[in-house]
C-alpha cells in the first residue's frame, strides 16, 4: 500500500488510525463474544442431551460440570491451535461449544505424536482415544492421569457426549475414528510419506473430518459444504505440516514427500539438520502448490454453501496468510518467523474482517 504523503496531516481518520481502531475493537468484541457465547448454548445442550438420552438430572452432567468440560476444550484449542480458536469464536453462538468440543478432540489427538516420549507411548495414547471414541462411554481405567483429573471422565469426552448425544450417529463416529486413525498411522510411520497424495490423505482424514464433523454436529448437512470442507481440510493439514517443518525436524520427523525429495536431491538427514537448499524450497513449493489449489477450490464454492456454514470455513484466512508469507520467503519452510504466522493481532483482525464480510 502506498505511504501517505508528508503533506497530508495524520488525522484520526487516516488508514493507519482506522486499522488500529478496528483491531482494538476486534479484541474487545471477541472477548465479549467469548464470555457471552458459552452459557446460553450450554444450557440448551444440557437440556437436549438429557431429553435425548432419557437420563435423569442426577445422572447427567449438570451445567457447572459441562461448563468446566467446555472451558477445558476452549483452553485446549486456544493453547494448541490458536488460529482455530480465533475462528471458532466467530461462529453463531449456539454452535460455539459444539465446535470447540470437536476441535479440542482434533487438537488433543494431533498433539500426541509430538509430545509423547516414544512411538509406543504415542500409539498407546492414541489407541486410548480410539477406544473412547468407540462408545463415548466412561472408561474404567482409574490409573489414567487425565481420567483421574476429570473425575473418571476426560473433559473432552464429556463435552463431546453433550454435543453429539449419548449415541452419536454412525457418521459422527466415522469422522472421529478417521481423525484418530490418521494420527495412529502417523505415529506408526517409519519414515517420511511417500508422496503428496499420502499427505493429502492424512490431511483429509485428520482435518477434513474435523470440519465435516463440526458442520454435522451443528445440524448443517449440505453436500457442497462437505465438499468444500474436504478441500479446506486438506489445505489446513498440508499447511500445518509445512509450518511444523522445523519443529518436526528437531524431533527427527520429516513430512517432505520422499518421491519429491528424491527428484530434487534432498535427503531426510539434511531436513533434520535444518539445511536450507534450493531442493528443499522446491519440495516445499510442490506441497504448498497443492495446499493452495485446495484452498482455492474451497473458496470457489463459497457461493454454493449455506450462509450459516460459511463461518466454519474461516480457517481459510490464516491458511491463506501463511501460504502467501511462505511464497514471499521463496518457500523457505525452515523460516520460523513465517511459521509463527505473524503478530496474532493482525491474524485476529483478518479473521474478524472476513467474518464481518461473510467471506473466507
How confident is the model over 94-119, as pLDDT tens digits? Answer: 999 999 999 999 999 999 998 888 99
Is residue 323 within 8 A of residue 261, CB to CB? The reply is no
| pLDDT at residue 52 tops 90 | no
SS3 label, residue 360: coil
How confident is the model over 71-87, as pLDDT tens digits? Answer: 999 999 999 999 999 99
Average pLDDT over residues 36-45: 60
Instruction: Tell me the pTM.
Output: 0.83
How confident is the model over 3-14, as pLDDT tens digits? Answer: 333 333 333 444
pLDDT of residue 287: 98
Exposed e or buried b per residue across 83-103, where buried means at least 16 C-beta atoms within 10 angstroms of its C-beta = bbbbbbbbbeeebbbbbbbbb
* 7/19 Cα distance (integer angstroms): 21
pLDDT of residue 46: 58
> Domains of the chain (ranges plus CATH)?
33-169+183-188 (no CATH), 189-360 (1.10.600.10)
Q: HEC states along 194-232?
A: CCHHHHHHHHHHHHHHHHHHHHHHCCCCCHHHHHHHHHH
Q: Which of 56, 51, 64 lies closest to 151 in space, CA to CA?
A: 64
Calculate what percentage of the chain has a pLDDT beyond 90.
68
Amino acid at each position: 500500500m502506498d505511504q501517505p504523503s508528508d503533506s497530508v496531516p495524520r488525522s484520526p481518520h487516516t488508514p493507519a488510525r482506522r486499522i488500529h481502531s478496528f483491531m482494538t475493537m476486534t479484541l474487545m468484541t471477541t472477548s465479549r463474544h467469548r464470555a457471552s457465547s458459552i452459557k446460553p448454548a450450554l444450557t440448551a445442550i444440557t437440556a437436549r442431551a438429557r431429553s435425548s438420552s432419557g437420563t435423569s438430572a442426577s445422572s447427567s452432567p449438570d451445567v457447572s460440570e459441562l461448563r468446566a468440560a467446555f472451558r477445558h476444550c476452549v483452553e485446549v484449542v486456544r493453547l494448541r491451535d490458536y488460529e482455530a480458536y480465533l475462528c471458532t469464536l466467530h461462529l453463531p453462538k449456539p454452535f460455539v461449544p459444539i465446535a470447540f468440543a470437536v476441535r479440542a478432540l482434533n487438537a488433543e489427538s494431533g498433539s500426541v505424536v509430538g509430545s509423547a516420549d516414544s512411538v509406543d507411548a504415542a500409539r498407546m495414547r492414541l489407541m486410548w482415544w480410539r477406544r473412547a471414541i468407540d462408545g463415548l462411554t466412561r472408561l474404567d481405567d482409574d490409573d489414567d492421569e487425565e481420567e483421574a483429573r476429570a473425575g473418571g471422565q476426560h473433559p473432552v469426552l464429556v463435552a463431546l457426549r453433550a454435543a453429539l448425544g449419548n449415541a452419536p450417529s454412525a457418521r459422527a463416529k466415522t469422522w472421529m475414528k478417521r481423525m484418530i486413525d490418521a494420527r495412529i498411522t502417523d505415529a506408526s510411520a517409519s519414515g517420511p510419506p511417500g508422496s503428496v497424495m499420502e499427505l493429502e490423505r492424512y490431511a483429509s482424514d485428520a482435518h477434513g473430518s474435523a470440519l465435516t464433523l463440526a458442520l454435522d454436529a451443528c445440524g448443517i448437512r449440505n453436500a457442497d459444504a462437505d465438499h468444500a470442507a474436504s478441500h479446506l481440510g486438506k489445505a489446513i493439514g498440508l499447511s500445518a505440516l509445512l509450518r511444523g517443518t522445523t519443529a518436526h525436524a528437531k524431533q527427527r520427523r520429516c513430512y517432505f514427500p520422499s518421491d519429491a525429495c528424491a527428484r530434487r536431491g534432498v535427503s531426510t538427514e539434511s531436513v533434520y539438520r535444518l539445511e536450507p537448499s534450493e531442493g528443499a524450497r522446491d519440495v516445499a513449493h510442490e506441497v504448498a502448490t497443492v495446499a493452495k489449489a485446495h484452498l482455492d477450490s474451497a473458496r470457489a464454492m463459497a457461493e454454493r454453501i449455506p450462509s450459516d456454514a460459511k463461518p466454519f470455513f474461516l480457517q481459510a484466512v490464516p491458511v491463506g496468510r501463511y501460504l502467501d508469507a511462505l511464497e514471499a520467503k521463496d518457500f523457505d519452510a525452515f523460516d520460523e518467523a513465517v511459521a509463527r504466522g505473524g503478530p496474532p493481532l493482525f491474524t485476529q483482525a483478518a479473521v474478524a474482517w472476513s467474518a464481518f464480510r461473510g467471506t473466507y
